[in-house]
Amino acid sequence: MDIQFTPGPKVLILGHSFISRLTQALTYDPKLLPDFNLAQCSVSCYGIRGGTVDRLQNNEDLNAHIQNFQPSVIILQIGGNDLCDPGLKPETLACKIVDLMSDFQLHYSFVNKIVVCELFTRTQPWYITAEQYENKRRIVNQMLPILVYDKKLYWKHLRLMNSPLQIFASDGVHLSALGMQKCYRSLRLAILHAIES
């Protein structure tokens, strides 16, 4: 996606396939604006399909994008694919996510704030049952707000996760068009929270 620079902070929305799909939706859904309808900042999205915490760590293409864009804020949506690993404990994942946030702050001096978003539920996760996934997800989402500190924030997708509407696609993992619109609005609020706090 082409980056449109405006005065003010630069915000990078970074994550797995949810963000990759959001980037695509920004090109065809008229309800989703690439600038998130925020004149006070520049927004760029970078999603890696099948992305995990380890795949974001030391990723050369991602590093080049971050160095080029130089965001002062990173919004991080990651961890859902990691949870599908039957051998990965949720406590370990929560710590790995916070370590990734710290690494970004250490390696990119221009990053002033990082917001980690709550992990999404999945009705049909890979390699484990929906109940196992949900139990692990609940633990990670309980740990993250406790572990983040020092210019790190936690964002809860309240209007998205508590929606009575069908927000998931038929695969039980990704978001439907309606879910994508709700995710977009939640991420927009996360951006505003980050740049105003």
Beta-sheet strands, E only, within 38-188: 42-47, 73-77, 113-117, 152-155
Question: What pLDDT was estimated at residue 58?
Answer: 84
User: How is residue 180 written in tokens?
Assistant: 């994508």
Question: What pLDDT was estimated at residue 176?
Answer: 81
In the three-class reduction of DSSP (H, G, I as helix; E, B as strand; rest coil), residue 73 is classed as strand
- Where is pLDDT greater, at 33 or 6? 33
Strand order of the sheet with strand 113-117? 42-47, 10-15, 73-77, 113-117, 152-155
Domain tally, the chain: 1
Give the domain CATH number at 65: 3.40.50.1110
Question: What pLDDT was estimated at residue 187?
Answer: 96
Give pLDDT tens digits for 36-67.
999 999 999 999 999 999 999 989 999 999 99
- Where is pLDDT greater, at 149 or 72? 72
In a domain, 1, yes or no: no
In a domain, 129, yes or no: yes
- Between vectors from CA 166 to CA 164 and to CA 167, what angle results, nearest 5°? 100
Other C-beta atoms closer than 10 Å to the C-beta of 68 total 9
Question: What pLDDT was estimated at residue 159?
Answer: 66
In a domain, 5, yes or no: no
User: How is residue 94 written in tokens?
Assistant: 């929560």
In a domain, 23, yes or no: yes
Per-residue pLDDT for 172 more than 90?
no
What residue numbers bound the domain in which 47 lies?
10-196
Question: What pLDDT was estimated at residue 8?
Answer: 86
- Where is pLDDT greater, at 165 or 130? 130
Q: Which residues contact 162 (CB under 8 A, 6 or more apart)?
A: none
Residue 45 forms beta bridges with which residues? 13
Mean pLDDT of 62-86: 97
Among the listed residues 43, 53, 46, the one whose alpha carbon sits nearest the alpha carbon of residue 11? 43
Arithmetic mean of pLDDT over the chain: 90
Mean pLDDT of 98-123: 95
Question: What pLDDT was estimated at residue 73?
Answer: 97
User: How is residue 95 written in tokens?
Assistant: 């710590």
- Where is pLDDT greater, at 122 or 54? 54
